[in-house]
């Protein structure tokens, strides 16, 4: 069995369409994000990891309702946000504060519930309480990690390949990350440490994908005759790597789908973000990264080629 | 060729044996999110911000040792207690059920000291000056109490023997008149007679106000040399009339808990209330004997974390044993106090800056769904590879099985902790591990399509795919390293699995699968076709 054997699609020919599509999707998601920024105060739905505060997940034995729980907890711990979560009879309590007057807010919530319900009628599934100082630090570290990994890869690629490839690969990867981030924003997915890990994985995967295609382009440029147009070389390279691109993305998405279907809570979100990221990354290797490289090559042609072009031809009478 | 093939197989078997050996020796540690438990981040509490970084780091180091001893004595299986940065302590207690109790044991400073009660009149004589200083420092408005009731004032006058001269003014004019009790004598008016020299009673509602007054720098300066003030640990009185005792003590403790060698919880035979019996070392015993011998009839305050637990009258010379009365506490609390006293006191109070707990059911859930997803993912990969690449796909799957063993061995070798995001990373890396093989196989197919012989096609396929594989693995490894460096908690766990996964996948996809190919091709002299 062979997929895309001898494929010969004109990917680069549609570069204007694909780049416009990317631009439109980015713009649309950006509008949604800006809308969230103004309507909810933040374009990203940061969880306690970054904002600081308290999260308590509680499983009740008996059915209850958000309204009932609000009556119980609302007055004791003001500002608590209560939502249903995952499994049946499971609820999330979120409070902006980490501790009040020396007592942890999570303890206060559990205590108030203990006064209303029997102690064995509910179980604390998990609590996360992050002090404001730690939250700020985590946010800062996450940003540093993302920027540094992009920079480090840029340096590596510049050394290993040359700057044109490095800039195109990192530019396209930044596009992928921005798209994934805006998607997380638009869908109001929880932004936690796990989300950051997912975004960083997308960076790794997306770069990986671009390197494979670029590696083939580099090889084909080297082996190509002088007459061959860049557009031809690029198209051929993408088509040659197409079976690998589809197969690898396919198997990875398949394993992640298993995780998304079977997994629960944070893991499920993690898998979904990764799936979106891999689809975006695969798309952009072909339709974004290669056109960017193409434009860079056209604007700043290679030295020897430029020299070739400028070499005066023998005029034959 | 044959020799190098033997060498390859030897290396592969040795690495495999190493991986299995590490797994059997260390096992894979499960993260808190998988087995349930509590994660705490603590910092030296320095509300005034006066500690130097060196002092903070030093206090953190000493606190780390004390916490380790306490947790050891508390008895938690495989706790993790480590320093993070220069001044932060991370404590992870797997499987802990009573989180509050564990927090108390970690956080209690447990600084024990012994001081004589100062029954001289030095402090009482300083009171008028202190009162004036408070009025001057805070202004008359800040110290006036609008809610003063007549009965309260009358009660004060009744109990407070001294300075009864100006208190007789009418209560309704108290708030405005400069001569009024609360305005001109903000502190004195709150101190009620306890019937003994060197002790006062303060209404429970006034305790915070008194503490605030006493902390003023202007007041601190006026407190007589050699005198220190401490509140009692428990409330006294009945019903709504609750009081805290304020003790006037010697400024210098004659002994601290450092000289304590043992502490055991018990109940006192008289009231059946929990107590902690302690025993001092020989030097401490001598000091205790000496001080009690010279102070028969005086009181000795036993102070824990700046609160006076009791101040018994010395009736006779006491040796190396003593007890702390805990009043209404439970026997569990007495046990915990004995534990922290044995382990020693923290050099400074610690505050919790991050706290996460995971119930055991959630962890079991994550393991279950992780394993299931992993099994499904692997089955899908096997299916895709074998149906697409036939025998070669099968060889890749064998390489993948090797990879999984290697990964588990690697996690054990580095003592890495497997977390829920780690499992996700593992499953993801299975998908990515197959990428190297796909790259190689596609190259081999291309070479075969060009009409190359099987042997050459395989050689060329591996060779040509190598640069792309190395580049992609290295860039992902760079990401993994940066994640590890800057990540915390779950991100770090993910970075570890990712990095180990990449190294393992490089070895198995490139080296092991290659060897399998060599082994397969070596059986025939000139293979005509490759099942790919």
Q: Summarize pLDDT for A13-68 with one digit per residue, the tens.
A: 889 999 999 999 999 999 999 999 999 888 998 888 888 899 999 999 988 889 88
> B167 and chain A: CB distance < 8 Å anywhere?
no
More confident residue, B214 or A303: B214
> B45 and chain A: CB distance < 8 Å anywhere?
no
Residue of B283, B272, B273, B206 whose CA lies nearest to B245: B206
> B386 and chain A: CB distance < 8 Å anywhere?
no
Q: CATH number of the domain that A240 lies in? A: 1.20.1640.10
Question: What does the DSSP assignment read for A218-259?
Answer: HHHHHHS-TT--HHHHHHHHHHHHHHHHHHHHHHHHHHHHHH
The whole-number pLDDT of residue A170 equals 86
B179 shares a domain with B42:
no
B505 shares a domain with B401:
yes
CB–CB contact B354 A270 (8 Å): no
Q: CATH number of the domain that B379 lies in? A: 1.20.1640.10
Determine, yes or no, domain membership for B129.
yes
Cβ atoms of residues B402 and B508 within 8 Å: yes
Where is the domain boundary, B179, B200, B225?
B225
A177 shares a domain with A34:
yes
* pLDDT tens-place string over residues A56-106: 999 999 888 898 899 888 888 888 889 888 777 889 999 988 887 767 888
Residue of A251, A269, A209, A252 whose CA lies nearest to A86: A269
Instruction: Provide the token pair at B343.
Output: 């382990």
| Order of all β-strands in the sheet with B274-280 | B260-267, B274-280, B321-325
B403 shares a domain with B381:
yes
> B498 and chain A: CB distance < 8 Å anywhere?
yes
C-alpha count within 13 angstroms, C-beta hemisphere, residue B333: 12
**Best of A108, A150, A259 to mutate (most B CBs within 10 Å, chain B):** A259
Where is the domain boundary, A84, A100, A130?
A130
Determine, yes or no, domain membership for B157.
yes
CB–CB contact A274 B428 (8 Å): yes
d(Cα B337, Cα B386) in Å, to the nearest integer? 64
Q: CATH number of the domain that B59 lies in? A: 3.30.70.3400
B48 shares a domain with B27:
no
What tens-digit pLDDT sequence spans chain B (532 residues)?
Answer: 445 888 999 999 999 999 999 999 988 888 888 888 999 999 998 888 888 989 999 999 999 999 999 998 888 888 889 998 888 999 999 888 888 889 989 998 888 999 999 988 889 999 999 999 998 888 777 766 544 444 455 445 444 544 444 444 333 333 444 444 566 788 988 998 888 889 999 998 889 999 999 988 889 999 998 899 999 988 887 777 889 999 999 999 998 888 888 999 998 888 888 889 989 899 999 998 899 889 988 999 999 889 998 888 888 777 788 888 887 778 888 888 888 888 888 888 899 999 999 888 888 888 888 888 888 888 988 999 999 999 999 999 999 999 989 999 999 998 888 887 787 777 767 776 788 999 999 999 999 999 999 989 999 999 999 988 888 888 888 888 887 887 766 677 778 888 898 889 899 988 999 999 998 888 776 667 788 8
For B16-46, give one letter per residue: b (16+ CB within 10 A) or e: beebeebbeeeebbbbbbbbbbbbbbbbbbe
CB–CB contact B475 A252 (8 Å): no
Determine, yes or no, domain membership for B335.
no
The whole-number pLDDT of residue B155 equals 46
Where is the domain boundary, B163, B197, B225?
B225
B126 shares a domain with B82:
no
DSSP-assigned beta bridge partners for residue A124: A58
A210 shares a domain with A161:
yes
Which helix (DSSP H) or strand (DSSP E) does residue B265 occupy? strand B260-267
Nearest by CB to B490, which of A194, A253, A258? Answer: A194
d(Cα A254, Cα B346) in Å, to the nearest integer? 53
What residues of A are in contact with residue B445 (Cβ under 8 Å)? 2
Nearest by CB to A267, which of B359, B369, B488? Answer: B369
B475 shares a domain with B432:
yes
Q: CATH number of the domain that A59 lies in? A: 3.30.70.3400
B508 shares a domain with B402:
yes
Where is the domain boundary, B192, B225, B258?
B225
> A145 and chain B: CB distance < 8 Å anywhere?
yes
A281 shares a domain with A152:
yes
Residue of B296, B292, B288, B274 whose CA lies nearest to B321: B288
Determine, yes or no, domain membership for A2.
no
Domain that holds residue B491: 2-32+359-522
Determine, yes or no, domain membership for A312.
no
CB–CB contact B475 A211 (8 Å): yes
Which residue matches tokens 């893991």? A267
Determine, yes or no, domain membership for A45.
no
d(Cα B421, Cα B151) in Å, to the nearest integer? 64
ipTM of the prediction: 0.83
Determine, yes or no, domain membership for B297.
no
> Total structural domains in chain A?
2
Determine, yes or no, domain membership for B421.
yes
Determine, yes or no, domain membership for B414.
yes
**Cα-based distances in Å from B92 to A124, B391, B483:** 18, 48, 21
Within 8 A by CB and 6+ apart from B98, the residues are none
| Chain A contacts in chain B segment 90-149 (CB below 8 A) | 100
B139 shares a domain with B128:
yes
Tally of CB atoms within 10 A around A71: 11
**Best of B351, B483, B532 to mutate (most A CBs within 10 Å, chain A):** B483
The full length of chain A comes to 317
Cβ atoms of residues A124 and A56 within 8 Å: yes
A155 shares a domain with A117:
no
Domain that holds residue A70: 53-130
A258 shares a domain with A182:
yes
CB–CB contact B431 A152 (8 Å): no
Where is the domain boundary, A70, A101, A130?
A130
Instruction: Provide the token pair at A303.
Output: 């030295």
> A154 and chain B: CB distance < 8 Å anywhere?
no
Where is the domain boundary, A130, A153, A176?
A130
> A262 and chain B: CB distance < 8 Å anywhere?
yes
A232 shares a domain with A95:
no
B486 shares a domain with B402:
yes
C-alpha count within 13 angstroms, C-beta hemisphere, residue A86: 19
Residue of B371, B273, B280, B279 whose CA lies nearest to B330: B273
d(Cα A307, Cα A304) in Å, to the nearest integer? 5
Residue B88's closest chain A neighbor by CA?
A: A134
Residue of B297, B343, B347, B304 whose CA lies nearest to B322: B304
**Cα-based distances in Å from A246 to A176, A285, B380, B528:** 18, 12, 15, 29
Tally of CB atoms within 10 A around A17: 10
A163 shares a domain with A293:
yes
CB–CB contact B438 A247 (8 Å): yes
Within 8 A by CB and 6+ apart from B248, the residues are B117, B118, B119, B123, B198, B199, B200, B227, B228, B229
Closest chain B C-alpha to A7 CA, distance in angstroms: 13
Question: Which of A177-186, A220-229, A233-242, B33-42 is predicted least confidently?
Answer: A220-229
Determine, yes or no, domain membership for A313.
no
A108 shares a domain with A22:
no
A212 shares a domain with A123:
no
Closest chain B C-alpha to A41 CA, distance in angstroms: 25
> Total structural domains in chain B?
3
What residues of A are in contact with residue B483 (Cβ under 8 Å)? 145, 149, 197, 200
CB–CB contact B357 A126 (8 Å): yes
How many inter-chain contacts (A to B, CB under 8 Å) are there?
215
B13 shares a domain with B45:
no
> B32 and chain A: CB distance < 8 Å anywhere?
no
Determine, yes or no, domain membership for A178.
yes
B49 shares a domain with B17:
no
Nearest by CB to A153, which of B352, B388, B478? Answer: B478
The whole-number pLDDT of residue B169 equals 38
Determine, yes or no, domain membership for B206.
yes
Residue B363's closest chain A neighbor by CA?
A: A125
A177 shares a domain with A76:
no
Determine, yes or no, domain membership for B78.
yes
What residues of B are in contact with residue A215 (Cβ under 8 Å)? 467-468, 471
A139 shares a domain with A118:
no
> A299 and chain B: CB distance < 8 Å anywhere?
no
A212 shares a domain with A271:
yes
For chain B, state the CA radius of gyration. 36
CB–CB contact A193 B487 (8 Å): yes
B386 shares a domain with B366:
yes
Q: Which range is most confident: A237-241, A252-256, B345-349?
A: A237-241
CB–CB contact B354 A254 (8 Å): no
With both helix axes pointing from N to C terminus, report the angle between A230-262 and B360-413 in degrees, rounded to the nearest 10. Answer: 130
Angle at B479 between CA B473 and CA B483, to 5 degrees: 140
Calculated CA dihedral for residues B499, B502, B507, B511, nearest 10 degrees: -160
């Amino acid at each position: 069995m062979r997929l895309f054997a001898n494929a010969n699609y004109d990917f680069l020919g549609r570069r204007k369409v694909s780049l416009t599509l990317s631009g439109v999707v980015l713009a649309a998601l950006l509008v949604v994000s800006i809308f969230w920024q103004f309507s909810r105060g933040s374009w990203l739905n940061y969880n306690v990891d970054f904002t600081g505060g308290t999260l308590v997940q509680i499983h009740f034995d008996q059915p209850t309702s958000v309204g009932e729980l609000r009556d119980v907890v609302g007055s004791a711990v003001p500002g608590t946000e209560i939502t249903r979560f995952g499994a049946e009879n499971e609820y999330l309590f979120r409070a902006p504060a980490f501790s009040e007057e020396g007592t942890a807010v999570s303890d206060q919530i559990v205590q108030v519930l203990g006064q209303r319900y029997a102690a064995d009628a509910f179980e604390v599934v998990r609590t996360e309480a992050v002090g404001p100082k730690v939250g700020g630090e985590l946010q800062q570290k996450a940003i540093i990690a993302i920027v540094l990994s992009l920079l480090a890869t840029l340096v590596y690629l510049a050394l290993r390949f040359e700057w044109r490839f490095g800039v195109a690969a990192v530019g396209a990867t930044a596009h992928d990350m921005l798209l994934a981030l805006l998607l997380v924003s638009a869908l109001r997915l929880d932004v936690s440490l796990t989300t950051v890990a997912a975004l960083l994985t997308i960076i790794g995967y997306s770069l990986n994908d671009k390197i494979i295609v670029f590696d083939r382009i580099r090889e084909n440029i080297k082996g190509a005759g002088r007459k061959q147009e860049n557009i031809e070389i690029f198209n051929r390279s993408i088509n040659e790597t197409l079976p690998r691109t589809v197969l690898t993305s396919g198997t990875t998405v398949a394993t992640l789908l298993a995780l998304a279907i079977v997994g629960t809570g944070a893991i499920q979100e993690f898998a979904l973000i990764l799936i979106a990221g891999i689809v975006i990354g695969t798309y952009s290797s072909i339709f974004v990264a290669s056109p960017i490289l193409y434009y860079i090559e056209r604007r700043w042609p290679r030295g020897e080629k430029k020299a070739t072009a400028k070499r005066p031809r023998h005029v034959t009478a | 060729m044959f020799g190098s093939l033997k060498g390859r197989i030897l290396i592969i078997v040795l690495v495999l044996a190493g991986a299995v050996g590490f797994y059997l020796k260390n096992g894979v540690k499960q993260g808190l999110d998988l087995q349930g438990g509590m994660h705490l981040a603590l910092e030296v509490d320095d509300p005034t911000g006066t500690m130097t970084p060196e002092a903070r780091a030093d206090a953190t180091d000493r606190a780390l040792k004390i916490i380790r001893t306490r947790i050891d004595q508390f008895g938690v299986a495989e706790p993790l207690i480590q320093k993070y940065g220069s001044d932060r302590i991370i404590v992870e207690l797997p499987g802990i059920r009573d989180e509050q109790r564990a927090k108390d044991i970690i956080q209690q400073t447990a600084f024990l000291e012994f001081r004589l009660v100062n029954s001289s009149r030095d402090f009482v004589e300083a009171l008028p000056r202190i009162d004036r200083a408070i009025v001057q420092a805070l202004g008359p408005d800040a110290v006036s109490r609008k809610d003063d009731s007549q009965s309260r004032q009358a009660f004060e006058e009744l109990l407070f023997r001294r300075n009864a001269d100006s208190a007789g003014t009418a209560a309704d004019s108290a708030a405005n008149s400069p001569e009024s009790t609360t305005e001109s004598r903000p502190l004195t008016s709150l101190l009620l007679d306890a019937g003994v020299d060197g002790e006062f009673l303060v209404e429970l509602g006034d305790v915070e106000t008194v503490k605030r007054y006493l902390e003023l720098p202007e007041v601190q300066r006026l407190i007589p040399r050699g005198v220190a003030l401490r509140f009692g640990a428990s409330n006294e009185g009945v019903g709504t009339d609750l009081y805290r005792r304020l003790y006037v003590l010697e400024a210098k403790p004659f002994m601290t808990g450092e000289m304590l060698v043992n502490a055991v919880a018990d109940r006192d035979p008289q009231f059946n209330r929990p107590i902690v019996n302690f025993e001092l070392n020989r030097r401490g015993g001598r000091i205790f004997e000496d001080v009690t011998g010279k102070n028969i009839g005086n009181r000795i305050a036993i102070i824990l974390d700046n609160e006076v637990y009791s101040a018994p009258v010395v009736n006779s010379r006491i040796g190396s044993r003593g007890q702390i009365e805990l009043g209404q506490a439970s026997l569990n609390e007495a046990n915990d106090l004995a534990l922290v006293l044995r382990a020693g006191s923290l050099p400074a109070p610690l505050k919790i800056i991050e706290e996460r707990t995971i119930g055991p059911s959630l962890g079991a859930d994550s393991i279950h769904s992780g394993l299931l997803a992993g099994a499904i993912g692997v089955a899908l990969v096997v299916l895709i590879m074998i149906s697409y690449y036939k025998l070669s796909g099968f060889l890749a799957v064998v390489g993948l099985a090797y990879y999984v063993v290697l990964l588990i061995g690697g996690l054990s070798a580095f003592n890495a902790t497997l977390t829920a995001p780690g499992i996700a990373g593992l499953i993801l890396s299975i998908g990515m591990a197959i990428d190297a093989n796909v790259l190689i196989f596609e190259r081999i197919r291309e070479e075969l399509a060009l009409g190359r012989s099987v042997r050459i096609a395989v050689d060329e396929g591996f060779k040509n795919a190598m640069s792309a594989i190395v580049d992609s693995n290295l860039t992902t490894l760079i990401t993994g390293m940066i994640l590890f460096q800057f990540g915390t908690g779950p991100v770090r766990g993910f970075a570890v699995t990712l990095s180990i996964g990449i190294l393992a996948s490089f070895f198995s996809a490139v080296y092991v699968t290659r060897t399998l190919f060599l082994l397969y091709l070596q059986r025939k002299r000139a293979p005509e076709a490759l099942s790919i």
